[in-house]
């Protein structure tokens, strides 16, 4: 057989790479603005046409490129930012892969005008699907202007994959906000055709206010911590300002936006008893760490960054947020000193570090003496302790984990759980139910004891009920005194997207004036709901949520299911809510009359069964 392996032409290879780097217009903006930042620009202007479909233009006053560099920049793996792999550990630039420009030019028509300080005349380049179509001298300002036209013109599948203009625009605005926040010293403007924003160089705090133009100002508590390991600077919101929707949460490390669920928990954990359960604080924190202690070389579109010292940073972060809350009277006084830092929780599947003992290097474990100093004796006890820790630590710990996990709640397979338990009624034909810790309903069945999470169970019941209702157009009930709702400008653009589902479900909205809508009708089958909250929840779920936590499962649901879920979540009983017998009975019997009752729409377990054999094993 003849040889069949061929190298892919560049145009194809670039198009494949583009699939990873450029997913939507907002990604083009991220890549190009980061290039302008790397080029030392002090002013960056962004122009958008048709939500980025027809044109995205970025103009900067940075270093510009020479004629050769301008052409080189569009080759694969062409970068001026690193020379060798070791440079990766001392990065001071946003880019380093040399992938963005070749990817962008593989899937669009690109026009570049660029000039360096030393050149009299600049370079004008036209590139279409990786092919340079023309290159000419041009008179232009110092800096670079890149226009990306007809994005995905040669990748119809990708073009189809784009969401409505409103959603894409809202993604663009979110990306702009992130970039503008990180680069507060740079003047940044955006013009989307129907909206313009021009942000002057400002302090970090001023930039926050310029972007979100709200009463946020008074709500921010400053944080400034300087340790050998990390510098943390920025703001967290007062507990009173916690939001249920779209909390503004930004973590920046060495000038880079990142998502870090572990640090996120350290921050929000400080608010535990201070804010309502389903609300979240806002935070804007900048970390500075030694570049060689983090790994930024992750997938180009991901923003998770690996920290070498995250276990040590956790308590510093936690303590400084607590201290900020304490200092400003947000919580009763808190003692903040670096000697009494809290202990970082373990991440899933992680074993704790071995405790370390200070043992001289020349210590001889067999004689118990320090070599070279026969007078210096170690007690036998010390000796024993050392050996024990070294040998058995991991094993001891894993046994401990096994024991705690096995206690009480027997892990059951999914099939087992899907079986409906045969509930036992008392002599008067009532279900026997007991509320535990104001959180669980305990009842019995032929198989053993069933423990049900009261909130999850109720969410599931309401979800199925609402889902059925929404599937047929529902009459809406007029409101005598219409509630009004203010929709954040960045969200307003997504409202159109969810309007059909809202109407199907029985909500009616009428536009009043700028940013304000009146809720004139609500579903007749759910008159006790807070319609505003539900509409805001839906809006939040359709905008880009890659920076929100824990909503992945929810976002996979169809819009109508999502609406049903959001309504159910609002209507369901809360933890801490006392339930009477009838309420408990209703929940239990409704839950088990559903075909599938094991998991909430978000995939959380609803109940567990302690079987008879498990019970017997305790005695
Ligand atoms: P990377 O940013 O990873 O180096 P890119 O493909 O984004 O890769 O850019 C390739 C190169 O083009 C950069 O290394 C830089 O030298 C040059 N370049 C890109 N954009 C600009 C700009 N706005 N101003 C000056 N140089 C730029
Ligand atoms: Mg780049």
Residue nearest to atom 21 of ligand 1 (CA): 35
Check pocket membership of 567 for ligand 1, CB cut-off 6 A: no
Check pocket membership of 123 for ligand 1, CB cut-off 6 A: no
Residue nearest to atom 14 of ligand 1 (CA): 79
Mutate which of 70, 95, 130 for ligand 1 pocket (most atoms within 8 A of beta carbon): 95
CA angle 49, 55, 56 (to 5 degrees): 95
Task: Yes or no: say if 236 and 221 are a contact pair by the CB < 8 Å rule.
Answer: yes
CA distances from 166 to 3, 28, 31, 160, 537 (A): 50, 17, 21, 15, 17
User: Which pLDDT score is estimated for 332?
Assistant: 46
Check pocket membership of 147 for ligand 1, CB cut-off 6 A: no
Residue 150 burial class via C-beta count within 10 angstroms: exposed 0-12, middle 13-18, buried 19 and up: middle
Check pocket membership of 300 for ligand 1, CB cut-off 6 A: no
Low-confidence ranges of the chain (pLDDT < 70): 1, 214-218, 298-302, 328-430, 544-556
User: Which pLDDT score is estimated for 389?
Assistant: 37
Residue 518 burial class via C-beta count within 10 angstroms: exposed 0-12, middle 13-18, buried 19 and up: middle
Check pocket membership of 96 for ligand 1, CB cut-off 6 A: yes
Task: Yes or no: say if 351 and 392 are a contact pair by the CB < 8 Å rule.
Answer: no
Q: What is the number of alpha carbons within 13 Å of residue 144 lying toward its C-beta?
A: 27
Residue 77 burial class via C-beta count within 10 angstroms: exposed 0-12, middle 13-18, buried 19 and up: exposed
The beta-strand segments (E) located in 387-432 are: none
User: Which pLDDT score is estimated for 126?
Assistant: 96
Q: How many angstroms does the Cα of residue 153 sit away from the middle of ligand 1?
A: 23
Strands 249-253 and 283-288: parallel
How confident is the model over 289-319, as pLDDT tens digits? 998 899 887 666 667 888 999 989 999 999 9
Q: How many angstroms does the Cα of residue 332 sit away from the middle of ligand 2?
A: 47
Check pocket membership of 14 for ligand 1, CB cut-off 6 A: no
Q: How many angstroms does the Cα of residue 255 sit away from the middle of ligand 1?
A: 17
How confident is the model over 509-544, as pLDDT tens digits? 888 887 888 888 888 877 777 888 888 888 877 775
User: Which pLDDT score is estimated for 429?
Assistant: 56
Q: How many angstroms does the Cα of residue 125 sit away from the middle of ligand 1?
A: 15
Q: Which of 469, 533, 479 is nearest to 501 (CA)?
A: 469
Q: Which atom of ligand 1 is nearest to the CA of 58?
A: 23
Strands 196-199 and 220-226: unpaired
Residue 291 burial class via C-beta count within 10 angstroms: exposed 0-12, middle 13-18, buried 19 and up: middle
User: Which pLDDT score is estimated for 386?
Assistant: 35
Strands 187-191 and 43-49: parallel
Both tokens assigned to 208: 């926050």
User: Which pLDDT score is estimated for 119?
Assistant: 94
Task: Yes or no: say if 491 and 167 are a contact pair by the CB < 8 Å rule.
Answer: no
Dihedrals phi, psi of 15, to nearest 5 degrees: -65, -35
Task: Yes or no: say if 199 and 188 are a contact pair by the CB < 8 Å rule.
Answer: yes
State the Rg of the chain over Cα.
30
Q: What is the number of alpha carbons within 13 Å of residue 431 lying toward its C-beta?
A: 26
Check pocket membership of 296 for ligand 1, CB cut-off 6 A: no
Q: At what angle do helices 489-505 and 454-470 cross, to 10 degrees?
A: 70
Token match 């640090």: residue?
263
Both tokens assigned to 488: 């954040």
Task: Yes or no: say if 502 and 509 are a contact pair by the CB < 8 Å rule.
Answer: yes
Check pocket membership of 39 for ligand 1, CB cut-off 6 A: yes
> Would the pTM of this model clear 0.75, i.e. be above it?
no
Check pocket membership of 63 for ligand 1, CB cut-off 6 A: yes
Q: How many angstroms does the Cα of residue 21 sit away from the middle of ligand 2?
A: 11
CA distances from 260 to 176, 228, 287, 437, 477 (A): 20, 21, 12, 32, 44
Q: Which segments of 43-94 does DSSP mark as H helices, in order?
A: 67-72
User: Which pLDDT score is estimated for 555?
Assistant: 60
Q: How many angstroms does the Cα of residue 200 sit away from the middle of ligand 1?
A: 24
């Amino acid at each position: 057989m003849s040889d069949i392996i061929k190298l892919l032409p560049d145009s194809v290879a670039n198009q494949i790479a583009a699939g990873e780097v450029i997913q939507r217009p907002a990604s083009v903006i991220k890549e190009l603005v980061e290039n302008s930042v790397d080029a030392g620009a002090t002013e960056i202007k962004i122009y958008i046409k048709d939500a980025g479909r027809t044109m995205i233009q970025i103009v900067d006053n940075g270093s510009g490129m020479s004629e050769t560099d301008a052409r080189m920049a569009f080759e694969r793996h062409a970068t001026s930012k690193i020379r060798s792999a070791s440079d990766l550990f001392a990065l001071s630039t946003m880019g380093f892969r040399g992938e963005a420009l070749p990817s962008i030019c593989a899937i669009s028509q690109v026009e570049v005008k660029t000039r360096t300080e030393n050149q009299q005349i600049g370079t004008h380049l036209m590139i279409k699907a990786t092919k340079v179509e023309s290159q000419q001298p041009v008179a232009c300002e110092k800096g670079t202007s890149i226009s990306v036209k007809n994005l995905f013109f040669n990748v119809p599948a990708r073009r189809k994959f784009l969401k409505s203009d409103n959603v894409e625009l809202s993604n663009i605005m979110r990306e702009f906000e992130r970039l503008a926040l990180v680069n507060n010293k740079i003047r940044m403007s955006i013009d989307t055709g129907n909206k313009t924003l021009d942000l002057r160089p400002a302090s970090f705090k001023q930039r926050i206010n310029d972007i979100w133009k709200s009463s946020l100002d008074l709500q921010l508590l400053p944080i400034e911590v300087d340790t050998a390991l990390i510098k943390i600077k920025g703001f967290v919101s007062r507990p009173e300002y916690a939001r249920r929707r779209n909390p503004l949460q930004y973590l920046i490390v060495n000038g880079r936006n990142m998502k870090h669920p572990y640090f996120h928990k350290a921050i929000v954990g400080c608010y535990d008893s201070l804010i309502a359960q389903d609300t979240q604080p806002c935070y804007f924190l900048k970390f500075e760490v030694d570049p060689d202690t983090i790994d930024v070389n992750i997938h180009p579109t991901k923003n998770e960054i690996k920290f070498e010292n995250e276990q040590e940073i956790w308590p510093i972060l936690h303590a400084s947020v607590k201290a900020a809350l304490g200092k400003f009277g947000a919580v009763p006084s808190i003692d903040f000193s670096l000697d009494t830092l809290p202990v970082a929780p373990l991440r899933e599947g992680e074993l704790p570090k071995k405790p370390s003992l200070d043992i001289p290097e020349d210590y001889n474990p067999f004689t118990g003496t320090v070599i070279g100093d026969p007078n210096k004796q170690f007690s036998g006890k010390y000796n024993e302790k050392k050996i024990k820790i070294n040998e058995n630590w991991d094993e001891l710990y894993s046994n401990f984990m096994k024991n705690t996990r096995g206690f009480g709640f027997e892990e059951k397979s999914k099939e087992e759980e899907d079986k409906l338990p045969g509930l036992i009624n008392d002599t008067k034909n009532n279900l026997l139910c007991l509320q535990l810790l104001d959180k669980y309903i305990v009842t019995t069945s032929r198989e053993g004891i069933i423990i049900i999470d009261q909130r999850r169970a109720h969410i599931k019941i309401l979800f199925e009920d609402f889902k059925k209702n929404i599937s047929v157009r529902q009459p809406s009930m007029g409101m005598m005194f219409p509630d009004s709702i203010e929709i954040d400008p960045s969200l307003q653009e997504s409202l159109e997207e969810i309007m059909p589902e809202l109407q199907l479900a029985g909500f009616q909205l009428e536009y009043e004036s700028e940013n304000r809508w009146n809720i004139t009708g609500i579903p007749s089958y759910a008159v006790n709901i807070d319609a505003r909250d539900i509409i805001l929840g839906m809006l939040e779920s359709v905008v880009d949520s890659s920076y929100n936590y824990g909503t992945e499962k929810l976002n996979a649901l169809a819009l109508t299911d999502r609406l049903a879920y959001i309504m159910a979540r609002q209507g369901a009983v809360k933890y801490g809510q006392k339930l009477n017998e009838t309420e408990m009975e209703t929940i239990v019997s409704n839950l088990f009359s559903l075909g599938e009752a094991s998991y909430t729409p978000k995939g959380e377990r609803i109940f567990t069964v302690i079987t008879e054999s498990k019970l017997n094993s305790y005695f």
